[in-house]
Structure 1
Amino acid sequence: MTHAAPDTSDISLEAIHANTDTLARDVRRTPCLTLDSGVVSDMLGGGQAVLKLECFQHTGTFKARGALSVARGLDQAQLTRGITAASAGNHAIAAAWAARKVGASAKVVIQSNANPFRIALAKAQGAEVVIKAPGPDTFAEAERLMAEEGRHFIHPFEGPLTSLGTAGVGLELMQDADDLDAVIVSIGGGGLISGVAAAVKQINPACKVYGVEPMGAAGMQKSLAGGGPVTLDGVNTVADSLGAPMTLPLGHALCAAYVDEVVLLDDDMICAGMVAFQQEAKLAVEPAAGAALAAALGPLRARLSGLKTGIIVCGANIDVATYQMLITRGLPVYDALLATHG
C-alpha cells in the first residue's frame, strides 16, 4: 500500500520567519563565525568554514528550537497534562526545558545506554526521568505515558513544528553569512537538516546542502536512495545523537526536496572531526557536531575547495571522560588527514 507524500508547504519561508520570530524571546540567536584556521582553510583549498554555533544554544544543542516550537503550540488542557519525550538524551533535556518555559510538567523517557551526564541535565531542567531499553521500549514507554497520563508527545525529530523550529538555524545562518556556497548538517532522524535545508534552499536554491550520517546509522541515505522512510535493523555508532532507528515521512520528504547529498563517515573519522574542532576552533563538541567538520575535511573536501561553507555545530553535551576517550581515538586519524594533505 502506498501513501501520499506529506505536504511540505507548511515549511514555507514565510512560516519559517514567523516561527523564528515567535521563538526569539526564549531561543538564543547563536553566533555565526568564520573559523580562523589556516590549517582548515588550506585543506579546503583556500575556502572558508563558517560555524553556526548551536552548541551555545539553551540546553547545549539545537534541540531547544524544535521542542519549544512544539510546546508553544499546546493548548491549556495539554499544558495541564504535561509532556513526554523519547530520547538518547539531548531531546529529553530540550523537551524538559521547553516544558518549563510553557509551565508544563515533563516526564521524559531516556534510553538506558544514554550518557549519565545527559540524564543529569534532563533532571536539572525539572523533568521526571524514566529509563528504558534503547529503541522500541523507549518509544513504547512514551506511548504508555500518552495513553495513561494524557501527556503530549514531543517527537525527537518529526513534525512540522519541529522542522519550523530547526529552520531558524538555517535562516539565521543565511542572514549572518553572505554568499554561502554550501551548508553541512549532521543527521540523526532528520529533524535538524529538514528545517535547515528548507530555509537554505528557499533563500538560495544554488547553495548546496550536504547531510552527514554515521555508517552505522545511515537511515536518511537509505531513505533517499529507496524513495521512502526506512527502519534500520540496528544502530552502531559513537555518535549517539545521530543514532535514530528510523526516518519518517515529513523529514524524508523535506530532505528529498532540499538536500543535495548525504555522505557517510565511520566512527574514527567522526572522532577526528572532534579533534579538528578542538585543535582548530578550540571547541569541545559532541560526536554529532564533529561529524559535520569531518565531512568537510574528508569526503566533501574536493567539492568544497575554494568555497564558503556553513557548518552547523549542532551540540556539545558530552562529559569529560567520554570526550577524552573519543578525542584520543580520533587524534591519529586527524594526524593522518593532515599528513595526507601536506
Structure 2
Amino acid sequence: MLSLSDIEDARERVESVARRTPLEYSHTFSDMSGAEVHLKLENFQRTGSFKIRGAMNRITTLSEEEKAAGVVTASAGNHAQGVALAASRAGVDSKIVMPEHAPISKVKATRRYGGDVVLYGSDYDDAQKRAHEIEAEEGRTYVHAFDDEYVMAGQGTIGLEIAEDCPELDTVVVPIGGGGLISGISTAIKAKHPDARVIGVQADRASSVATSLEKGEIQALDEVDTIADGIAVRRVGEQTFPVIEERVDEVVTVSDEEIAVALTYLLERSKTLVEGAGAVALAALIFEKFDYDADEVVVPALCGGNIDMNTLTTVVMRGLVETGRYLKIRTELKDRPGSLEKLIEIIAEERANIYAIRHDRTSRKIAMNATEVEVDLEMRGPEHVDTLLESLRDAGYDVEVLD
C-alpha cells in the first residue's frame, strides 16, 4: 500500500514543476463555521489544479522506451492539463481523451500545454474506454487519473505541505472523485499527524466512494450528474479504495446547490475562484456535513480553479438564489392600465431591485382578461425574500417562486 516514503520520493520529482501552494487562515469561514479554518489554495497550482503533481511523478518514472512511445490518458479536464504539461516538460508526446462536453476552457488549455486532444463520449468513463483503445493501438503508456501509486504519491505531496504548514491540524477535508488525491493526502497526514482526521467529500450525484463504503465493496454508478465535473467519476479506483477504507475517517456528500453556495462565498468573500470540485470541501464544512468542535483547526483543500466562464455564470446565479440574493417570481395581473404599476410599487416599498420583467398576455394558462408577469429581483437575503413575498400575498397577489 502507498507509503510516506513514496510521497517523499515524489516530492523530489515534482518540485521543479509544481508550486508549493499557500495555506491561508480565513476569517470569513472561521466566523461562519466556528472552527479555525485554513484554506489550502491548490487552485493556485500550475495548470489550476493539483493534477500536475501526480502526472509529473508518473511521467518522470517512465523508462526511456516508454517515453519514446508516448503517453495517453483520459480526463474531464484537470488531469488532462497536468499530463499535457508534464509530458511536454519531459519531451514526451501525449494524447488526451476528454469527454465531448468537457469545459471548453479545459480543452483549450490542454492543447496549449502541448496535448493532442481527442473528444469522445459523455463522461470520464467513456473517455477512459477510448484511451485504453488508443493505448493498445499505438503502444502508449496509460497515465491513470487516480488509480496509480505514482499518481497517488504525487498528489500526496499536498498532504506533506499541509502537515508542515499547519502543525496544529485537527481535520483536513478533501474532495473525492476516483480517490487518488485523498489516498495521497490521507497517507501523508496520518503519517505526520496520526490523530488528525481526514474527511472525504463527494457530490451527492457522483457518490461512488460513499456508496462503496456503505456496501463494503467497490460499486459502480450507472451515471453521474454534477456541476463538480472534476470529481464526476462512476467508479472508485481498485488501488485507491483500500487506502480510503484504512486511512479516511469519514466520507460525506454535498448537493450541487451547496457547492454553488460555497463557490459563490469564496468568490465574494475571499476573492478566490474555484471550480465545482474545488468547492466541495468547503461546502461540507459550512453546511455541517460532519461534526467538529468549536475552534477545531480545519483545512479544506481547494483543489481546482479551472471553471468555464459560462458554467461560472450559471453556478454563481444558483448560489445567489440559494442564499436569498436573487429571486424570480411569477404572478397574474388584471389586464388593465395601472396593474403593473401597483405591483412595482409594492416591490419598491420593500426595497427590492428589479433586474427584469416579462409581461405576457398570450399564455394559455391564464384567463382572457389577465396577464402573466415574471419578475427577476435582487434581494438582500432570506429574510428580505420572506418579507417581500408576505407583502405581495397580503396585497392579494398569488405569487409563485421560480427555480
Q: TM-score, normalising length from structure 1?
A: 0.92
Q: Which one of 26, 40, 43 corresponds to residue 52 of structure 1? A: 40
Q: Which one of 74, 88, 99 corresponds to residue 100 of structure 1? A: 88
Identity in percent: 34
Aligned-partner Cα distance in 2 for 1:67–1:228: 27
Report the alpha carbon displacement of residue 335 of structure 1 after superposing the two structures with TM: 5.0
Residues 1:179 and 2:205 aligned together: no
**Residue deviations 1:9-59 (CA, integer Å, cap 9, x gap):** xx222222221122212211111111132xx222222x2111111111111
The residue identity in structure 1 corresponding to 2:262 is: G
Residues 1:274 and 2:253 aligned together: no
For residue 289 of structure 1, give the secondary structure of its aligned residue in structure 2. Answer: helix
Matches within 5 A, 1:1-342: 8=1, 11-37=2-28, 40-45=29-34, 47-135=35-123, 136-300=125-289, 302-334=291-323
CA contact (8 A) 2:95 2:115 kept: yes
CA contact (8 A) 1:230 1:248 kept: no
Q: Which has the higher helix share?
A: 1
Aligned-partner Cα distance in 1 for 2:177–2:197: 19
Q: Which residue of 2 aligns with 1:5?
A: none
For residue 177 of structure 2, give the secondary structure of its aligned residue in structure 1. Answer: coil
Gaps of 5+ in 1: 1-7
Gaps of 5+ in 2: 326-380, 384-403
Aligned-partner Cα distance in 2 for 1:30–1:14: 21
For residue 146 of structure 2, give the secondary structure of its aligned residue in structure 1. Answer: coil
**Residue deviations 1:284-310 (CA, integer Å, cap 9, x gap):** 110111111111101336524321101
Report the alpha carbon displacement of residue 226 of structure 1 after superposing the two structures with TM: 1.9
The residue identity in structure 2 corresponding to 1:285 is: V
Report the alpha carbon displacement of residue 211 of structure 1 after superposing the two structures with TM: 0.7
Aligned-partner Cα distance in 1 for 2:186–2:382: 33
Q: Which has the higher strand share?
A: 2
Number of residue pairs matched by the alignment: 327
The residue identity in structure 2 corresponding to 1:130 is: V
Q: Quick one: higher RCO (CA 8 Å, sep 6+), 1 or 2?
A: 1
The residue identity in structure 2 corresponding to 1:196 is: I
Q: Which has the larger radius of gyration?
A: 2
Aligned-partner Cα distance in 2 for 1:196–1:63: 13
**Residue deviations 1:103-162 (CA, integer Å, cap 9, x gap):** 101111000011111100110011111110124431222112111111111111111111
CA contact (8 A) 1:54 1:313 kept: yes
Aligned-partner Cα distance in 2 for 1:297–1:137: 34
Report the alpha carbon displacement of residue 62 of structure 1 after superposing the two structures with TM: 0.4
RMSD between aligned alpha carbons?
Answer: 1.6
Report the alpha carbon displacement of residue 257 of structure 1 after superposing the two structures with TM: 0.9
**Residue deviations 1:312-341 (CA, integer Å, cap 9, x gap):** 1101001222112101101232459x869x
Aligned-partner Cα distance in 2 for 1:60–1:330: 22
Aligned-partner Cα distance in 2 for 1:131–1:314: 24
Q: Which residue of 2 aligns with 1:4?
A: none
Aligned-partner Cα distance in 2 for 1:143–1:53: 33
**Residue deviations 1:86-113 (CA, integer Å, cap 9, x gap):** 1111111111111111110111100001
Give runs of ≥4 in structure 1 deviating > 4 Å.
none
Aligned-partner Cα distance in 2 for 1:291–1:66: 21
Aligned-partner Cα distance in 1 for 2:178–2:221: 11
Q: TM-score, normalising length from structure 2?
A: 0.78
Aligned-partner Cα distance in 2 for 1:333–1:107: 40
The residue identity in structure 1 corresponding to 2:245 is: A
For residue 170 of structure 1, give the secondary structure of its aligned residue in structure 2. Answer: helix
